Structure formats: C-alpha cells, structure tokens
Amino acid sequence: ARVKAYAAVDLGASSGRVMVGRVGPDSLELTEAHRFPNRPVRTPEGLRWDVLGLYAGMLDGLRAAGRVDSVGIDSWAVDYGLLDADGALLGNPVHYRDSRTEGVAEKVWATVPAEELYAATGLQYAPFNTLYQLTAASHSAQLAHAERLLLIPDLLTYWLTGEQGTELTNASTTQLVDPRTRDWSYDLASRLGIDLHLFAPLRQPGDPAGLLRAEVLEETGLTGPVPVTAVGSHDTASAVAAVPADGERFAYICTGTWSLAGLELDAPVLTEESRAANFTNELGLDGTVRYLRNIMGLWLLQECVRAWGEPELGALLPAAGQVPALRSVVDAGDAAFLAPGRMPERIAEACRASGQPVPVSPAEVTRCILDSLALAHRRAIDEAQRLADHPVDVVHVVGGGTRNALLCQLTADACGLPVVAGPAEAAALGNVLVQARTHGLVGDLGDGRRLLTRTQPLTRYEPRGDAARWREAEARLTDG
Ligand code: ADP
Ligand code: LRH
C-alpha cells in the first residue's frame, strides 16, 4: 500500500511549524518542513498576533513540504479574527494575554453567576475565554462591523480554501458550548447577548474543509487538488489524541508554553467542587472530554529567558540541575503570571511574599520554575483523579517540555508515578492521525495510539522516593 503524506500545520504560542507525517499501514514518520517564531506584537491598541506572519510561515512550510495528500491546521485556543461583510479581516487578532479582559468576568457573572456558567459549559475560569473577550469587545467598532468570527485555525483554513466553519474541539474553548450536547449553548448565548450567527456552522474533526485555492497552489508550488481536512483544531485536542497511552488509567501533561494536566474522560465533570478547583471540560475526539487544569507552564521560563537576553537552554538546564531541590516554589497555577514582562522579578516577589529564599541567579530561578511546575503537575493530577473518580497508573508527558529531562524527572518524582515522555510534537501527530483516519489509513483513537507507541521514541522516568518533601513544598503554598 502507498504511504500517504499529511501536512500538519501546528501553531503554538511560541512557535509555528509545518510538519509532514508519512503514514503507511504500520508506519508513521514525522519530519519538520518549516518552523518559525510566533511572537506577540505590542501595538498602540494592545497585544496582538502577527496573523499575516503566521499565514506566510504556513505557506512557506507547505512549499517546503512538497507533495501532500491533505493539510490540517491546529493552533492555540480561544482567539479569533473578525470578518466584515466582504469577508475581510477586521484588525489584528487580539492576543489572549492582552489586558482587555481584566475585570470583565465579574460583569458576565452579574448576568450569569459563575456557578451557572460552569454547570452550563464546564469551562474553567480563565480571563481569556472567548466569551469574556467578546464581552470586553462588546462596544468596539470592530465587533459592530463584524459579520463573522473565525477561531484562528478556522481563519487560516478559510484563507487556504475560501470555506468557513467552526471546528468543535476549539469551539469548546469559547465557553459557549454545552459539553453534554456538544452543541452551542443557545440559552447562555442569548442571556449574555452574544449572537451565535457570528460563528460559522460547527465542523467535526475529520470533516472536509475545502480544497487549496488556485492562488495558494500557485504560491506553494503544490499540484491540486489538495484537500484541507478539519482536525482537532485546538492544539491540546490534537496533542491528547497523540498521547501514546494504553487503556484508560493514564493522566497526561501537555507541556509547552502551557502545561495542561489532566485526564481523558467520556463525560464532563460539572460539580461545584470541580469548579472551585478550576478544572475545565474541553471537547476531544470521538466524544471524549479533556478534563484538565491550565498551569502557566514553560511560559515562566520563556519570559525569564527573554529577560536574561536569551541564554541557551542547553547550558541553563544543567546548571539548574545542580541547584538544591525545592528551596523555593511559587504557585504555577496563579493567573498573576499570565501577562508578559518582568518575570524574574515577579517570581522573586512571589518567593519573598511566601517567606521563602529568593532565587537570584538564572540557574536558581530556573530551578524554582521547574520545581514549581512539577509541584503544580502533582496537584493537578492528584485532584483530577479524585474529582473525576478516575485513578491512574502512569503520567504521559507530551509536547516541547519532553525535551527537558529535568522537568520530566521532577514530574515523576512529584507525582510519585512513572512518567512516559514523548512525543515532543504530539499536536502535529494528533493532527496527522485525524487526517490519516479520514482517508482510511488508521482506525479509532486507540489504533492511532498503538501506532504511536510502536513508531515514536518514548522515554520512561521512574519516580524517585521522598514524597514527603513534595508534600512539605505543597504545604508552603496552600497554608498561609
Ligand atoms: P508551544 O507549542 O506552546 O509553542 P512547544 O510545545 O513547542 O510550545 O514547547 C516549547 C518549549 O519547549 C520551550 O519553551 C522550551 O522550554 C521547551 N524546549 C524546546 N526545546 C528544548 C530543548 N532542546 N531543551 C529543553 N527544552 C526545550
Ligand atoms: C495551548 C492552549 C491551551 C489554552 C491556551 C490558550 O496552546 O491551546 O490549551 O488554554 O492555549
């Protein structure tokens, strides 16, 4: 049987890449065609995405990819572009770290209390949920002139094919979808004055999303027809689809700019306890639910590295490995770390405020960040198991953070469970698997995962004892 090639466009908050997955009956090989930085841009209006730069990077990547049988796009969640009646983009998409949503949630909760919002949508509170972004924009000229809202992967798909849709996994991050019906929450939208006609019709992962337009073929040198296939267009949906797990008793952590730590479930957990613990229920492939918590993730390190003038991780991480463990930890789940800027100082301030030694050198700050992330991973996985009544035996770590062996080992230690690390490009692989499945090359979620286990390099980390030290560190953040 012929090997087919699928282009996976995966746009993370720190870099975009076009990967090519070559899939045969029992083979899956992923190569990188092109990688480009994704940097937020601060304009006089606020923090924005360079969406034209991303589109150009994607076209460069498709040109480098060469002949492919289909294309799929996934990206970070919640953000969107607005189109006017001519289909033209209105302004630059707003970055989810922009400050426009400060104080907005309280206004929404005055109409629909937070408890009700959670019961209806299962979504964690995060200031950047699309619902709050739309509320923040409610008096803007752009929204007044908008006829259509397309989430980032759907916008780029539209530019490639001319066809509009709203892919479900990413739609579930808007906080306008009911996780039980997996359809819009019509009642909620109407109570909050949000016009659901702004959204294009829902698409399921695997649905066709059009063909590359003639101009795109010309620019990329590809020969048509090349179909675009809707994938789990939320990068985390694609990454979880590519967790090389066997059975159900596993937790996962998608580590990149964010750490997304939790469980795959077959139904949402909408209890008040779950809301208070700020767990989210996002929609995954094949009727699954991603029950997880957002942790600030390697963003903390990215921002420090930026402040320090971009030292190499290859030198910084070994130095951090030499720093004594667990001297100081911060709450890596704290939204106080969401905005860019002054990260080493903000971490130092948090340590000082909780009466711990203040990390000074880059190695010390890095160690503090990695210990804090491991601790937050532990808390999220412990609490998820309890709240969902779903015990696990293993933690799968996927995403760019799998390249950080210290973080993987600390996570195993903190969780007291074996960690299986890899693949690093899980989102791209999940993206490829959905395309391959649509074209009949792989079966269900379990088949895809078995294929990954057979074909992708994975590293196992066994937990090293001393659970008491992690409990003590956790107590520093929770008492007081
Ligand atoms: P995103 O998709 O959110 O942009 P990635 O999954 O690409 O993020 O992960 C990026 C992170 O992976 C970086 O911030 C960095 O901390 C980590 N990383 C990438 N390469 C390496 C490496 N060679 N060694 C250690 N860590 C790495
Ligand atoms: C990770 C991610 C995450 C969202 C955040 C906005 O890239 O998609 O799942 O919460 O970005």
Is the pLDDT score of 479 beyond 90? no
224 confidence band (pLDDT: 50, 70, 90): confident
Does 32 contact ligand 1 (Cβ within 6 A)? Answer: no
For a substitution probing ligand 1, which of 14, 17, 407 has the most ligand atoms within 8 Å of its CB? 14
**Cα(304) to centroid of ligand 1, in Å?**
14
Complex prediction ipTM: 0.99
Q: Rounded distance, CA 71 to CA 54, Å?
A: 16
Closest listed ligand to the CA of 424: 1
Cα 116 to its chain centre, rounded Å, is: 25
Q: Rounded distance, CA 474 to CA 374, Å?
A: 11
For a substitution probing ligand 1, which of 18, 369, 404 has the most ligand atoms within 8 Å of its CB? 404
Give mean pLDDT, residues 67-92: 98
Backbone angles phi, psi at 29, to 5 degrees: -125, 130
Which atom of ligand 2 is closest in space to residue 234's alpha carbon? 8
Closest listed ligand to the CA of 408: 1
- Positions marked active-site: 235
What does the pLDDT look like over 235-253, one tens digit per residue?
A: 999 999 999 999 999 999 9
Residue written as tokens 């198991």? 385
What does the pLDDT look like over 82-106, one tens digit per residue?
A: 999 999 999 999 999 999 999 999 9
Measured by CA distance, the residue closest to atom 7 of ligand 2 is 76
Q: What is the CA radius of gyration of the chain?
A: 21
Does 404 contact ligand 1 (Cβ within 6 A)? Answer: yes
So what's the pLDDT on residue 480?
Answer: 53
Does 302 contact ligand 1 (Cβ within 6 A)? Answer: yes
Does 296 contact ligand 1 (Cβ within 6 A)? Answer: no
Q: Rounded distance, CA 239 to CA 416, Å?
A: 23
